[in-house]
């Protein structure tokens, strides 16, 4: 075996191995795209269905994103979740307890308020909410503990919020509120699906990687 061929073995293995990893990442993103598309279609079908009364018992799998309408009284105590909306600014998700005439209490994500509107009077009294049943899963090991002094949460922690506001461990994300609430942005229902762009990026990187590997091998052979 010539010296140039021996020098090419290492870069060739490294180049093909790197390209294989990048291609597999692209294929994984295509798999995620298929999963996300099916999830969005299921959610859209449930969210666009006519609203129903909140069932007496709820199944986190069967009733996720169920479109419901509920009437009750908002409690004075609320949980503010620090967040931001692109092109709008920083602020808080406003989580409240809603008590029905039958005495049932559930959490309601009323929407988003800007930082400067946090001190404004909060909605109270009897309201009618149309929205979707939701079991958020937003916490992990890196989520900071809530700031009790300033009532600032850093994620919608369903268990802790339901305990703090004395409600069932279920949340309704409001899509409409009657009467309307001033300075309130209702949360958008769109779920981003960028996996195709991610897949194209990984495949493009694999193509570039192979091109650079080929150029390196050509230079070694020269």
Quick: pLDDT tens for 193-202: 889 999 999 9
Percentage of the chain modeled with pLDDT above 70: 95
Contact 29, 212 (CB under 8 A): no
In percent, the amount of the chain with pLDDT more than 90 equals 57
Q: Over 70: is that where the pLDDT of 190 sits?
A: no
- CATH assignment of 50-178? 2.40.50
What gap in Å lies between CA 128 and CA 176, rounded to an integer?
A: 8
Q: Write down how long the chain is.
A: 222
The backbone torsions φ and ψ at residue 29, rounded to the nearest 5 degrees and listed phi first, read -65, -35
Backbone φ and ψ for 88, nearest 5 degrees, come out as -115, -55
The better pLDDT of the pair 33, 11 is held by 33
pTM: 0.74
Confidence of residue 191 (pLDDT cuts 50, 70, 90): low
110 and 120 in contact (C-beta within 8 Å)?
Answer: no
**Per-residue confidence band for 76, with pLDDT thresholds at 50, 70 and 90:** confident
Q: Does pLDDT of 107 surpass 90? A: yes
**What pLDDT, in 10s, does the model give residues 108-123?**
999 999 999 998 888 8
């Amino acid at each position: 075996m010539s010296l140039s061929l021996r020098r090419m073995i290492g870069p060739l293995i490294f180049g093909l191995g790197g390209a294989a990893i990048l291609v597999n990442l692209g294929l994984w993103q295509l798999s995620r795209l298929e999963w996300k598309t099916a999830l969005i279609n299921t959610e859209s079908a449930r969210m666009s269905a006519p609203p129903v009364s909140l069932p007496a018992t709820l199944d986190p799998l069967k009733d996720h994103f169920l479109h419901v309408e509920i009437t009750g009284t908002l409690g004075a105590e609320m949980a503010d979740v620090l967040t931001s909306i692109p092109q709008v600014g920083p602020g808080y998700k406003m989580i409240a307890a809603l008590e029905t005439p039958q005495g049932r209490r559930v959490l309601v994500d009323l929407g988003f308020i800007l930082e400067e509107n946090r001190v404004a009077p909060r909605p109270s009294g009897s309201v009618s909410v149309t929205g979707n049943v939701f079991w958020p899963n937003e916490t992990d090991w890196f989520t900071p503990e809530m700031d009790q002094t300033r009532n600032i949460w850093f994620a919608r922690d369903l268990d802790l919020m339901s305990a703090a506001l004395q409600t069932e461990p279920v949340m309704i994300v409001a899509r409409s509120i009657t009467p309307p609430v001033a300075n309130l942005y209702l949360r958008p229902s769109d779920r981003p699906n960028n996996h195709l762009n991610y897949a194209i990026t990984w495949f493009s990187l694999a193509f570039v990687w192979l091109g650079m590997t080929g150029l390196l091998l050509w230079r070694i052979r020269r």
